[in-house]
């Protein structure tokens, strides 16, 4: 079991995300989220997939692509720190990444497949981390974080965006 990280293990920017998710096993939460997002997005019409709730906001596909990119980046950061990386890991500009990715040109099933493969691989990797590894700390985007903190960010970030899909996109 990998328990939710305390706020002290992540930068203050992430506190709002971590405060949204309940206590519990992060690996279980990640699997539940994978099931939830698949159910949520598999039956969307093409119109709904390309819907943005407000001008200038991301479409459903772009938001989902952002979730995929963020998980990939956070998992890489967790891996680096787990393996003892001492250098500060770079930040990223989410809007630039979404614009460059052209998610709107992809099929939702392609995005779902990428997501599922990535999530499965990440859960397998994260399950291999022992307590010493989970407590290992490093620097990402000039802020300290533990491996456990980063895994919690992954779950909390997805939880945050699942709520946005339900509340603002009416999915």
* 1 domain-assigned: no
Question: For the chain, where are the alpha helices, taking DSSP H only?
Answer: 15-18, 26-42, 46-49, 60-82, 94-101, 108-127, 131-135, 147-167
Mean pLDDT of 7-36: 95
* Structural domains of the chain, count: 1
* 38 domain-assigned: yes
**Burial (0-12, 13-18, 19+ Cβ within 10 Å), 149:** buried
* 72 domain-assigned: yes
Please report, in angstroms and rounded to a whole number, the separation of the first and last CA atoms in the chain.
Answer: 31
Identify the CATH number of the domain in which residue 142 sits: 1.20.120.450
Summary mean pLDDT of the chain: 96
What is the span of the domain harbouring residue 163? 7-167
* 2 domain-assigned: no
* pLDDT tier for residue 114 given thresholds of 50, 70 and 90: very high
- Interatomic CA distance for residues 171 and 108, integer angstroms: 14
* pLDDT tier for residue 43 given thresholds of 50, 70 and 90: confident
Question: CB-side exposure of 8: number of CA atoms within 13 Å?
Answer: 1
Task: Provide Rg for the chain, Cα atoms.
Answer: 16
> Tens digits of per-residue pLDDT, 48-90?
999 999 999 999 999 999 999 999 999 999 999 999 999 999 9
pTM of the model: 0.96
* 45 domain-assigned: yes
């Amino acid at each position: 079991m990998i328990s939710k990280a305390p706020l002290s293990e992540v930068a203050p920017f992430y506190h709002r995300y971590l405060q949204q998710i309940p206590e519990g096993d992060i690996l279980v939460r990640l699997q539940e989220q994978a099931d939830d997002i698949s159910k949520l997005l598999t039956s969307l019409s093409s119109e709904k997939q390309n819907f943005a709730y407000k001008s200038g906001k991301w479409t459903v596909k772009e938001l989902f692509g952002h979730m995929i990119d963020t998980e990939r980046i956070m998992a890489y950061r967790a891996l680096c720190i787990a393996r003892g990386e001492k250098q500060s890991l770079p930040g990223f500009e989410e809007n630039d990444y979404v614009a460059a990715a052209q998610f709107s040109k992809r099929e939702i099933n392609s995005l779902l497949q990428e997501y599922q493969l990535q999530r499965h691989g990440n859960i397998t990797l994260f399950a291999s981390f022992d307590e010493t590894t989970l407590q290992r700390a490093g620097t990402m985007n000039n802020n300290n974080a533990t491996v456990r903190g980063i895994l919690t960010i992954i779950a909390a970030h997805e939880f945050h965006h699942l709520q946005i899909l339900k509340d603002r996109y009416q999915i």
